[in-house]
Chain A
């Protein structure tokens, strides 16, 4: 069975640009979460979506937005990119319902975003 898939794997952007990252969850998983991981730190929660609705949001600016599609895939958008947005962006899916997140989350390989 396919795991969580993310695209692209690597991306280079310049300051001020916009980026869209994509994620397909494990088949049957309806919950998708996004995390940002800066080098040397643990992942930081950005968003959780369940049944196409935002169910949780971390402490990130409004430049970050996301959505979930009817097939449960998801996109993360970041506008007006800053140097500090350089990070590994991870998508995770879960078989659990909404909150709290009692079911384990399974991560994709991530998208490494570099801002020049």
Chain B
């Protein structure tokens, strides 16, 4: 079983719609959770961090964490073409473990 799994993509959404990304993790001892955005050929860029159960909102992004279900999600509201990228879920215990990423394409 992979440590961090993300819903397989690619995910295509129309401009202005909500993109929903999901992530599950295997280590119940994980304490910190991050979402990174990676444009093609570029390095990962941190967009959200979440540490406790519930929702955390930052602009058009909302991260949700449910430790009992070992589940993290990211919602992107009012999706823009500039949101087209690969989104990486990362989970931290003694190291940062990444999922394989979900590629999102926003159609204009």
Contact = CB atoms under 8 A, between A and B. Distances in A.
Nearest to B2: A42
Given A42-B4, A100-B31, A33 B43 contact: no
A107 B44 contact: yes
Contacts of B93: 99-101
A40 B100 contact: yes
Nearest to B36: A107
Nearest to A44: B98
B13 to A, nearest CB: 21
Contacts of A107: 36, 43-45
Contacts of B45: 107
B92 A43 contact: no
Residue among A88, A92, A101, A102 facing the most chain B CB atoms (10 A cut-off): A101
A105 B92 CA distance: 10
A68 B103 CA distance: 34
B17 interface: no
A2 to B, nearest CB: 15
B95 A104 contact: no
Interface string B84-104: 000010101111111111000
Contact of A45 (B31, B36, B88, B95): B95
Given A42-B99, A42-B100, A45-B97, A104 B42 contact: no
Given A45-B95, A101-B95, A104-B49, A90 B32 contact: no
26 contacts: A33-B95, A33-B96, A35-B96, A40-B100, A43-B44, A43-B96, A43-B98, A45-B95, A45-B96, A48-B95, A56-B94, A88-B43, A92-B96, A99-B93, A101-B32, A101-B92, A101-B94, A101-B95, A102-B31, A104-B49, A106-B46, A107-B36, A107-B43, A108-B43, A109-B42, A109-B43
Interface of A: 33, 35, 40-45, 48, 56, 58, 88, 90, 92, 99-102, 104-110
